Amino acid sequence: MPTNPTLHRAALATALLALAAGAAAQPSKWPDITWLFTSFQGRGDGLHLSASADGKAWTDLGKVFLKPSVGSGLMRDPHILRGPDGVFRMVWTTGWKDKGIGYAASTDLVNWSAQRYLPVFGKTAGATDAWAPETFYDEAGQQYVITVSSDIDDRFPATKSDERMNHRTYYVTTKDFVTFSEPALFLDPGFDHIDTTVVRDGARYIAVFKEGDRQKSGKWGAIRWAVADSALGPYRLMPEPIVSGLRAEGPTLYTQDGKTTLLVDFYAEKRYGAFETTDWKGWADVSARVAVANGQRHGTVLAVPAWLARDIATRTPAAEAAAPKPAPPAILEGFTADPSIRLFGDTYYIYPTSDKPNWQTTDFSVWSSKNLVDWKKERMILDVANDLKWASVEAWAPDVIERNGTYYLYFCAQGNIGVATSKSPTGPFVDALGKPLVARGTGVQTNTIDPYPFIDDDGQAYLYYGNGKLANVYKLKPDMVTLDGPVHTIALRDHREAPVVFKRSGKYYFMWSIDDARSPDYRVGWGVADSPLGPVRSPQRDFIVLQRNGPAVATAHHSVVNVPGTDRWYAAYHRHALPQGNGYQRQTVLAKMEFTPDGAIRPMDPMTVPFRPGDVGEPVANGRAVAPAATGR
Residue 431 among the catalytic residues:
no
Contact 210, 195 (CB under 8 A): yes
Sign of the dihedral defined by the CA atoms of residues 578, 580, 582, 587, in that order: negative
Element (H, E) at 17: helix 5-25
Domain that holds residue 155: 5-314
Same domain, 277 and 372: no
pLDDT in tens, 602-632: 999 999 999 998 899 999 998 888 876 555 4
Same domain, 231 and 114: yes
Same domain, 273 and 359: no
pLDDT in tens, 333-369: 999 999 999 999 999 999 999 988 888 999 999 999 9
Report d(CA 100, CA 103) in Å as an integer: 10
Same domain, 124 and 194: yes
Same domain, 425 and 505: yes
Min mean pLDDT across 395-409, 457-471, 568-582, 614-628 is at 614-628
Average pLDDT, the chain: 91
Residue 598 has what pLDDT?
96
Residue 175 located in a structural domain: yes
Same domain, 55 and 196: yes
Residue 42 located in a structural domain: yes
- Output the furthest CA–CA distance in the chain (Å, rounded): 91
Whole-model pTM: value is 0.82
Residue 321 has what pLDDT?
61
Residue 98 among the catalytic residues:
no
Min mean pLDDT across 244-248, 291-295, 464-468 is at 291-295
Residue 269 above 90 pLDDT?
no
pLDDT above 90: percentage of residues in the chain:
79
Over residues 259-266, the mean pLDDT reads 95
pLDDT in tens, 428-459: 999 999 999 999 987 666 789 999 999 999 99
Residue 622 has what pLDDT?
86
Which comes out higher in pLDDT, residue 12 or 255? Answer: 255
| Cα–Cα nearest to 569, from 600, 547, 597, 592 | 592
Residue 351 located in a structural domain: yes
pLDDT in tens, 154-188: 999 999 988 778 999 999 999 999 999 999 999 99
Residue 23 above 80 pLDDT?
no
At 27, the pLDDT band (50, 70, 90 cuts) reads: very low
Q: In what order do the strands lie in the sheet with 168-174?
A: 131-138, 143-150, 168-174, 184-187
**What angle, 0 to 180 degrees and rounded to 10, lies between the N-to-C axes of helices 306-314 and 5-25?**
170
Same domain, 437 and 501: yes
User: Would you state the torsion angle of the CA atoms of residues 603, 604, 608, 610, taken in this order, to the nearest 10 degrees?
Assistant: 130
Residue 633 located in a structural domain: no
At 322, the pLDDT band (50, 70, 90 cuts) reads: low
Residue 30 above 50 pLDDT?
no
Element (H, E) at 62: strand 59-66
Residue 13 has what pLDDT?
47
Min mean pLDDT across 3-12, 22-31, 183-192, 359-368 is at 22-31
CATH number of the domain encompassing residue 613: 2.115.10.20
User: What string of DSSP letters covers 296-341?
Assistant: -EEEEEEEEEHHHHHHHHHPPPPSSPPPPPPPPPPSSSSSEEEEEE
pLDDT in tens, 482-531: 999 999 999 999 999 999 999 999 999 999 999 999 999 999 999 999 99
Residue 444 has what pLDDT?
63
Over residues 533-560, the mean pLDDT reads 96
Work out how many domains the chain is built from and give that number. Answer: 2
Residue 505 has what pLDDT?
96
Same domain, 344 and 300: no
Same domain, 250 and 352: no
| Cα–Cα nearest to 63, from 316, 401, 409 | 316
| Among candidate residues 283, 314, 345, the one where a domain is terminated | 314
At 325, the pLDDT band (50, 70, 90 cuts) reads: confident
Report d(CA 73, CA 92) in Å as an integer: 11
Residue 583 located in a structural domain: yes
Residue 344 has what pLDDT?
98
Residue 449 has what pLDDT?
95
Residue 324 has what pLDDT?
83
Same domain, 258 and 386: no
Residue 320 has what pLDDT?
58
Same domain, 107 and 230: yes
Query: Dihedrals φ, ψ of 489, to 5°?
Result: -105, 145
| Among candidate residues 249, 282, 314, the one where a domain is terminated | 314
Residue 523 has what pLDDT?
98
Residue 628 has what pLDDT?
64
Number of neighbours of residue 567 by Cβ within 10 angstroms: 10
Report which DSSP code applies to 601: B
Residue 173 has what pLDDT?
98
Residue 64 located in a structural domain: yes
Instruction: Pick left, alpha or beta for residue 327 (phi over 0 → left; psi -120 to 50 → alpha; otherwise beta).
Output: beta
Residue 18 above 60 pLDDT?
no
Residue 413 has what pLDDT?
97
Min mean pLDDT across 137-141, 324-328, 553-557 is at 324-328
| Cα–Cα nearest to 94, from 52, 125, 59, 66 | 66
Catalytic residue among 249, 497, 605, 618: 497
Catalytic residue among 129, 211, 265, 338: 338
Residue 58 located in a structural domain: yes
Residue 15 above 70 pLDDT?
no
Min mean pLDDT across 14-28, 59-73, 197-211, 576-590 is at 14-28
Query: Dihedrals φ, ψ of 486, to 5°?
Result: -75, 165
Residue 121 located in a structural domain: yes
Residue 270 has what pLDDT?
87
Same domain, 310 and 350: no
